[in-house]
Amino acid sequence: MDSIILRTAARYLMPIFLLFSVIILLRGHNAPGGGFIGGLLAAGAFVFYAIAHGVAEASRKLLIAPYTLIAIGLLVAFGSSIRSFFNDQPFMSSEWSVLNMPWLGKLPIGTPLVFDAGVYLVVIGVTTTIVFSLAEE
């Protein structure tokens, strides 16, 4: 699909999409959202970019190979459980601590958020793996 409008739109929309997906991921614990939806949105951004600019360009924007992203995501998700292991807690017990952020106020950070980030990465990885493989055919 060779359209200058689509290309330009994709170039400007992708960062917005990605930013939005991160917001969805971060706010997911308290409002609709989370790693799965955020991941789908982010993947959508890359797919959109791939339709406009081709898979090769989109892969370059992704920086990491999609299947590597799957592995990293799984590791992050699994890694979030390590604290519970060393604290002699049942597997995957959550741990929370509150960060005092300038301007933003108090930000609770916990292992579920790390876990969700892992889900986010896996979803991006899987979706882009499938779409890019199909599109390259």
Interface residue list for another protein (CB under 8 A): 28-37, 40-41, 43-44, 47, 51, 66-67, 70-71, 73-74, 77-78, 81, 88, 91-92, 94, 96, 108, 110, 112-113, 115-116, 118-119, 122-123, 125-127, 129-131, 133-137
Contact 137, 78 (CB under 8 A): no
CB 125 to another protein: min, Å: 7
**108 CB contacts (<8 Å, ≥6 apart)?**
96, 97, 98, 99
Nearer to another protein, 15 or 109 (CB): 109
Q: Which DSSP string corresponds to 1-23?
A: ---HHHHHHHHHHHHHHHHHHHH
- In the DSSP assignment, the letter for residue 92 is T
- Comparing CB distances to another protein, the nearer of 62 and 70 is 70
Q: How far is the CB of 91 from another protein (least distance, A)?
A: 7
